[in-house]
Amino acid sequence: MTATLPVSGGGFEPYDVIVGQGLLSQLGVLIAPLVRGRTVIITDETVASLHGPAALASLQAAGVRGRLLTVPPGENSKSFAELERVIDRLLAFGLDRRDLIIALGGGVVGDLAGLAAALYMRGIDVVQVPTTLLAQVDSSVGGKTAIDTPRGKNLVGAFHQPRMVVADIDVLATLPARQLRSGWAEVLKHGLICDRDFFDWLAGEGAVGAKGDPVALTRAVVRSVEIKSAIVGEDEKEAGRRALLNLGHTFGHAIEAELGFDEDLLTHGEAVALGCAMAFRLSAALGLCAGAEAERVGTAVAAAGLPTRLEHAGVFRAERLLARMAGDKKAEGGRLTLILARAIGDAFVDKAVDSAALIDFLKGEGAA
């Protein structure tokens, strides 16, 4: 099955997210209608060796001129230095505003290549070809692009919507199991935000997707993209409803930061899963949702092999976590914004969480 999912909103050109199996070999044909000049595939060295030849062959078969530009794998590539190097290479290639960038990779490549496209000659077209589950269900859709600075993650960026997103489920087969599970956290998040039936399926027969079943993965990616694109269509610049997509992220980001963003200890997706479980437990503790709902979330998260509780609890101090949460760029004027829930599938933005209640909650979770 191949699904074509439209993304549209008031402030940007509509585009399609195409989800299915075997799409990398059709990449050239799919993007040909968008190509007015040349293309450059920006990717990392790992993805280049796995999928670069297939992507280039597909462009060539469709008569699309393309070449590869590789960056080192890993979060360190989301830097001013690497952005400058990428833009310098594009200039050396003589790319102009009719040309097209193809971001082939996970979240790091999508963010870096997307930002390079936003800036190059005041903006050229980009097609996102996400190769991780996390990128397919989240970062490739919606136009957020960014690099990090030593002061924090994703602090310098732009909204630059892609012209198309091509999500090939088959490429997920090359992902390490832990990375696939991490992407599953963002899938669960979408059900938790606004689709109880989807969550029920994910927690039941759809759970095989977290282990790589391609049919379940296709359905999980399609529904996640539908949910995300509906929210982005309503609120591209995160003035309101788009903040719901940060469910689990404020807790998760604070925990990741305390662990020095060491992906060996905790991946981003694991942090999001833990953050979702915590957001539901806090919602229950505040009397906003039933305790049984929080328990169900914890069970589904654990069944997917994702963490539900703070490990190394002694490492965390409640005050430090709170300070991180308040310093998160999603905090407005120092006030804490959290995504909480009335039930599974019914999340909301809460801008009035009391700091003292949050400290008590974090101590109850095992922070010192």
- Give the C-alpha separation, 114 to 108, whole Å: 10
Q: Does 233 bind ligand GLY (CB under 6 A)?
A: no
Examine residue 189 and tell whether it contacts ligand GLY (CB under 6 A): no
| CB of 223 or CB of 242, closer to ligand GLY | 242
Tell me, by CB under 6 A, how many residues bind ligand GLY.
Answer: 5
One-letter amino acid for residue 109 of the chain? V
CB 293 within 8 A of CB 280: yes
Distance of CA 82 to the CA centre of its chain: 21
Selected range binding ligand GLY among 33-41, 137-145, 210-218, 302-310, rule: CB under 6 A: 137-145
Q: Of 138 and 258, which CB lies nearer to ligand GLY in the complex structure?
A: 138
**125-130 and 100-105 beta bridge pairing:** parallel
We find the least distance from the C-beta atom of residue 180 to ligand GLY, in angstroms, to be 18
Q: How far is Cα 297 from Cα 340, in angstroms, rounded to an integer?
A: 13
* Inter-CA distances, 9 with 5, 135, 143, Å: 13, 21, 12
Active site residue 144: yes
Cβ distance to ligand GLY smaller for residue 58 or 145: 145
Q: Can you read off the two tokens belonging to residue 355?
A: 């700091």
Task: Name the nearest CA neighbour of 345 among 197, 187, 227.
Answer: 197
| Smallest gap from residue 319 Cβ to ligand GLY (A) | 27
Beta-bridge mates of residue 9: 12
Distance CA 103, CA 145 (A): 11
**9 interacts with ligand GLY by CB under 6 A:** no
In angstroms, give the least distance from the CB of 239 to ligand GLY: 12
Interatomic CA distance for residues 318 and 296, integer angstroms: 25
Q: Which stretch binds ligand GLY (CB under 6 A): 51-59, 136-144, 156-164, 308-316?
A: 136-144
The CA distance from 119 to 90, in Å, is 11
Per the annotation, the verdict on 84 as an active-site residue is no
For position 190 contacting ligand GLY by CB under 6 A, the verdict is no
Both structure tokens of 169: 């489920």
What is residue 141's DSSP assignment? S
Q: If binding is defined by CB under 6 A, does position 338 make contact with ligand GLY?
A: no
Of 20 and 142, the one with the shorter C-beta distance to ligand GLY is 142
Q: How far is the CB of 270 from ligand GLY (least distance, A)?
A: 16
Cβ proximity to ligand GLY: between 245 and 321 the closer is 245
Verify whether residue 351 is a known catalytic residue: no
Largest CA-CA distance found in the chain, in angstroms, rounded: 62
Active site residue 153: no
Annotated active-site residue 246? The verdict is yes
Is residue 203 at the binding interface for ligand GLY, with CB under 6 A as the rule? no
Specify whether the CB–CB gap between 135 and 127 falls below 8 A. no
Q: How far is the CB of 11 from ligand GLY (least distance, A)?
A: 14
Binders in 138-157 for ligand GLY, by CB under 6 A? 138, 142, 144
Instruction: Read off φ and ψ for residue 94, nearest 5 degrees.
Output: 75, 25
CA–CA dist 310, 246 (Å, integer):
19
For residue 64, the minimal CB distance to ligand GLY (Å) is: 28
The yes-or-no answer on residue 228 being catalytic is yes
Instruction: Give the length of the chain.
Output: 368
Question: Please, what is the minimum distance in Å from the beta carbon of residue 144 to ligand GLY?
Answer: 5
Q: Is 253 a catalytic residue?
A: yes
Q: Contact between 78 and ligand GLY (CB under 6 A)?
A: no
CA pair distance 193, 206, nearest whole angstrom: 17
Is residue 312 flagged as an active site residue? no
- CB nearer to ligand GLY: pick between 244 and 277: 244
Question: DSSP string covering 308-329, please?
Answer: -S-SSGGG--HHHHHHHHHHST
Q: Which of 189, 242, 253, 281 binds ligand GLY (CB under 6 A)?
A: 242
Nearer to ligand GLY, 263 or 311 (CB): 263
Catalytic center residues: 122, 144, 186, 228, 238, 242, 246, 249, 253, 268
Question: Under the rule (CB under 6 A), what is the footprint of ligand GLY?
Answer: 138, 142, 144, 242, 245
